[in-house]
Structure 1
């Protein structure tokens, strides 16, 4: 539910910005800027949200190793619970199906996208029917509509809090970090609802004797941490650019703003997102769930980066010469293709691998660091590409060339992701978490 809420919050932004643009910027004299939220405001909003995610993942990831996974998860929210959600799932799952279970947790983002779009469409349809005027460009109640869409996102967060309070602590944390083996046995017994004698608990290694900031840590785990962080950085540069920016390019596929009121405009944006989720995003997530424990994390991550690069090059290189003047389905297919292989690829695997690579004492902290680097990449990608694609609005050809360059750069980032994954990422398929403990004790 934390990942569900995360996606709900993120993907309600594009249609909400349409409503805000109508309410607050409908009286702008320049027809090209009318109904559009200024780029400085949009960039600041996105940057603040993502910066909060960076800080939250670092703080709550570290606290998850210091105070316990369940305790911290119970009172942290959506983006901040990446390290806790992944770590808890990895520590409850077994080696044969662990990747699929963690991927299933992450796949809830797809349903969050769908829920966000569905709620937005429903609210816009209700408000539109009640406005009694299909020709009114900015209905008076539009200022309430976008607030209500955001408010509904608090419902799953509230339900999540109750369920999280009922969760037991993971046995691996209790035994390996708190050194309370008896409590770990009791927790396992409660989770499995089976009788379990104390002597049946497998032997655990001695606790690690080196701190996080030490040569021993970086000698033993530095490569893994670098690999997880740089891969997440690269995929989020691409993923958030395409999520928050390329949606702006698809205005050519939607009805013109001038022919709709505020609710109809936001409704069409939400419908486009819902169709993309059903046809591309959700299938990509579940392809990972099905194949992650058969193909492996490294192969799926390399494959995803590679096909994302192919799609971005196919969109970017001919954009000025072809796509700019041809609003056909080919561009939309490539757009959806990018999202499919992002989720059947590095967007999901970067969430899984850090939860498996590191010993229990550092697992949540290292996942939080990796995720924080990802959100830094999101800031770089979304804001940088957004500014690049919005400059010189009076010169459409210059904008098209700039978008071409941006798409090609994103494709290049995916190629770098292929290389980095091949050189630095360790495969964790079929490997128990206890193997990592044993590897680093001697």
Structure 2
């Protein structure tokens, strides 16, 4: 810690864990709960969309979404998320974290509802409308990534900062779990009330009109958690690091944190004035000095997040295809539409409950004990091992008696993704860059992740296409396609392990130590005269 550090920042770094820390986790975390629900619930209903809008009279098999339509429905929100991460990350450094936070939340609420209300005269119009609103839903979700991470990192103390940032991200696991549980409830309710036969020779018989309500209700409910936290987000004060180091308002920063921490804090306006005078020489994002100090760090955070999300999102969005390929989910023609939603939701909920959620909270418990670097390296290593263990003897796992073993090992890849790089790639970019570009750099890092998610979503769809045209037309995934996909994902995880060595360890260090802002302040310390103002 630099000797010339602002007292308000020292107070935050050394503060004992208090109720406001948990409040911040809940408020920021509910955004991630909503993000995960909205992004991943679409995978629960894509097959239902195919049954409703892409069947034809007298069809022998349930309707399925054409590959291009399926790619658009699954991937368009990821495109919006990437754009939102870049835009709102940049805006968060310009206008402040708090102001932009409210914008993203309202966009998520409006577009969640609008997605469920997608209308049109024909199937193409309905799907087009759905994709339009899911793009803007993703745009709002994208802003939540850099803002939530930055706000939590700037509020937390340095001893448990990793725990709290990881806890915010861990709410993603509960969002995935909630999506599956709610889909189970809705599909069960509709199946009991409007009992339809298994698919035979009439698409309408196994897909009653009421099934159209199922996917709409599932998508619209995503607006509730976001809407419920809007007021709380608007009541949070701006972070002291933005107010003091970027907005240069020492009095406001000290006043805000004095109320939060319930202690006396000096405003130290002379130090902030000195920082403001030195701002002309401070390096920007596209400067040689930033490249020298943080270029390797930014390369490390972007590449590891990119590689991680190729694997993580392809696994999440296409679990239903993998489980169908090994026979864990029955073929579509043996079920009616709402039962198929139930079976898919049950499988994904079981994975979330047994591996995804525990993985997140193992990270929360251990990230400030064993460090970010060790957890990320370990996670990529075991993801690589389990992917190859599933892919190389793939034919062995497709036998009925071996399906449980496949599901267990597949679950372990999710566990080590979340007790590993899926959490740490979110935490580290919020800790290692200067305050003036912290949100922007996190946005760039997370946007590279969403680029990886798009590669995963579209790439898996291509690799898993059935080479047998008669089966492909009937909607069967290909065993050889899934095997190829798993092998590719294994090599992707191995690359992630190697690029992890570019990322620094930030455990136990203040944000200013990691970003080098202490060095800048101390170098300019001799230029200022010292006066103090005390805030009661």
Shorter-chain TM range is: over 0.9
Indicate whether 1:7 and 2:81 are aligned: no
- The equivalent position to 2:504 in structure 1, one of 412, 419, 426, is 426
Partners in 1 of 2:58 and 2:451 — Cα distance? 36
Deviation at 1:43, TM superposition (A): 0.6
Aligned partners of 1:64 and 1:84 also within 8 Å? yes
User: Partner of 2:431: helix, strand, or coil?
Assistant: helix
Tell me the residue number matched to 1:438: 518
Deviations 1:122-141 (A, max 9, x none): 11122122214455410111
1:169 alignment counterpart? 238
The answer on whether the counterparts of 2:319 and 2:348 sit within 8 Å (CA) in structure 1 is no
Note if 1:83 corresponds to 2:146. Answer: yes
> Which residue is 1:290 aligned to?
365
1:149-160 superposed matches below 5 A: 149-160=218-229
Over 3 Å counting, the alpha-carbon distance change for 1:350 and 1:201 in structure 2 is farther
Matches within 5 A, 1:139-154: 139-154=208-223
Q: Structure 1's 338 and 398: CA in aligned 2 closer, same or farther, altered over 3 A?
A: closer
Provide the secondary structure at the position in 1 that maps to 2:506: coil
Call closer, same or farther: CA 1:29–1:236 in 2, change over 3 Å.
farther
Contact 2:39–2:77 (Cα < 8 Å) also in 1: no
Work out whether 1:65 is the aligned partner of 2:57.
no
Partner residue, 1:328: 403
Secondary structure in 2 aligned to 1:362? helix
Q: Distance in 2 between matches of 1:392 and 1:359?
A: 51
Judged with a 3 Å threshold, the aligned counterparts in structure 2 of structure 1 residues 199 and 47 are, in CA distance, closer, same or farther, namely closer
Give the aligned partner of residue 54 of structure 2: 25
Matching of residue 381 in structure 1 with residue 456 in structure 2: yes
Counterpart for residue 183 of structure 2: 120
Q: In structure 1, how many angstroms separate the alpha carbons of the residues matched to 2:222 and 2:270?
A: 42
CA contact (8 A) 2:43 2:318 kept: no
Distance 1:78 1:202 in 2: 39
Shift of 1:398: 11
C-alpha distance in 2 between matches for 1:174 and 1:432: 17
Seen in structure 2, the aligned counterparts of structure 1 residues 258 and 173 have a Cα distance that, compared at 3 Å, is same
Q: 1:75 aligns to what SS in structure 2? A: helix
CA contact (8 A) 2:464 2:480 kept: no
2:172 is matched with which residue?
109
Aligned to 2:291: 218
Q: Structure 2 length as normaliser, TM-score?
A: 0.78
Identify if the C-alpha distance between structure 1 residues 64 and 130 changes in structure 2 by more than 3 Å, giving closer, same or farther. same
Contact 2:250 2:267 in 1 (8 A): no
Residue 315 of structure 2 is matched in structure 1 by 242
> Deviation of residue 403 (structure 1)?
2.5
Mean CA deviation greater in 286-295 or 253-262: 253-262
Corresponding residue for 1:258?
333
Residues 355 and 335 (structure 1 numbering): CA distance in 2 closer, same or farther, change over 3 Å?
same
Q: 1:177 to 1:200 in 2, by over 3 A?
A: closer
1:318-368 Cα shifts (integer Å, max 9, x gaps): 11x322334521110111000000000000000000000101011000000
What whole-Å deviation, never above 9, does each CA across 1:140-168 have from its counterpart, x for those lacking one? 11112211111111111212322211111
The equivalent of 2:496 in structure 1 is: 417
Structure 2 unaligned residues grouped into runs of 5+: 1-29, 105-139, 199-204, 524-536
Give runs of aligned pairs for residues 391-406 of structure 1, distance below 5 A: 391-394=466-469, 399-406=478-485
Does structure 2 retain, via aligned residues, the 8 Å contact 1:11–1:117?
Answer: no
Q: Report the number of matched residues.
A: 438
Match of 2:342 among 255, 267, 280: 267
Residue 431 of structure 2 is aligned to residue 356 of structure 1: yes
Task: Tell me the equivalent position of 1:228.
Answer: 301
Shift of 1:260: 2.0
> Are 1:43 and 2:71 an aligned pair?
yes
Are the structure 2 counterparts of residues 395 and 274 from structure 1 closer, same or farther at C-alpha, using a change threshold of 3 Å? same
Superposed displacement of residue 241, structure 1: 1.3
Compute the TM-score of the two structures, normalised by the length of structure 1.
0.94
Classify 1:232/1:200 alpha carbon distance in 2 versus 1 (closer, same or farther; 3 Å): same
**Range with greater deviation from structure 2 (72-81 or 341-350):** 72-81
User: 1:439 deviation in Å?
Assistant: 4.1
Deviates more, 1:399-408 or 1:333-342: 399-408
Farther off after superposition, 304-313 or 252-261: 252-261
Q: Could you tell me how far apart the structure 1 residues matched to 2:250 and 2:57 are?
A: 66
CA distance in 2, matches of 1:211, 1:409: 38
8 Å Cα contact 1:50-1:379 kept in structure 2: yes
CA change 1:18–1:406 in 2 (3 A) is: closer
Paired position in structure 1 for 2:529: none
* Residue 179 (structure 1) aligned to one of 248, 257, 271: 248
Pick closer, same or farther for the CA change 1:439–1:30 going to 2, 3 Å: farther
- Cα distance in 2 for partners of 1:202, 1:8 equals 47
